[in-house]
A = this chain, B = another copy of it.
Amino acid sequence: MTLPMDKHLVETRLESRELLKGSFLHAFEDVVRLPDGSTATREYVVHPGAVMMIPLIEDANGACRVVLERQFRYPVGRVMVEFPAGKLDPGEAIQVCAERELREETGYSAKEWARAGMMHPVIAYSTECIDVWFARGLTVGEQQLDTGEFLEVFTATPDELLQWCFESKVTDAKTLTGALWLQNMLSGSWQLQWQPSVGSAHSK
């Protein structure tokens, strides 16, 4: 939402140096020119981008449920309830990534996909951007977790998920954003454009 008249807000890069190259964290410190002409430093993490999936499934009566995960997240020291998500591989198309990650983490493949939007989880210190997708027409298969990845897959009704958001039992910001999308999609306020699977789910 940067506009042509935003010069009084924009910061521009003067220098950049690598602060840290870990096995996961890749951090930089840049010197930037501020809108008033002075300089400041900005420290941030570079992230490859990710995709989150809101998988819709019907119960025996045709009522909507969503597929969720429970996973221990070490930095926050607790088991989190989350929508499935994963990082983009280099050069990977976003829908291909979404289909791959859904299959690997949950075992589900989806016949139809709809891109909802995107979010930036941590604009103060990371470049990370998460694309948000809905998936429907699920068929179940085998989970293919990475080595060292431990998570549980379960389903819940939208009302249960929203109640957990209200009670701070769900606190993962991407999943809270997914709940906003789910609520407005189900009420008909926010429309989706569905498209077929690109089929990567079966290509590996």
With a cutoff of 8 Å between Cβ atoms, the chain B residues found around residue A121 in the complex are 121-122, 173
From B32, B78, B177, A177 is in contact (CB under 8 Å) with: B177
Bitwise, A140-168 to B at CB < 8 A (1) or not (0) is: 00000000101110000000001011111
Tell me the minimal C-beta distance from A157 to chain B in angstroms.
15
Q: Which of A29-55 contact B (CB under 8 A)?
A: 29-30, 32, 34-36, 38, 40-45
With a cutoff of 8 Å between Cβ atoms, the chain B residues found around residue A190 in the complex are 166
Does A76 lie within 8 Å of B129, measured CB to CB?
Answer: yes
**Smallest Cβ-Cβ distance to A128: which chain B residue:** B122
Stretch at the interface among A15-23, A58-66, A92-100: A15-23
A residues contacting B by CB (< 8 A) are 1-3, 6, 8-11, 19-20, 22-25, 27, 29-30, 32, 34-36, 38, 40-45, 70-76, 78-82, 117-130, 148, 150-152, 162, 164-174, 176-177, 179-180, 183-184, 189-190
Task: Identify 5 residue pairs between A and B in the complex whose beta-carbon atoms are under 8 Å apart, listed by A's number.
Answer: A22-B29, A44-B74, A76-B129, A118-B168, A179-B180
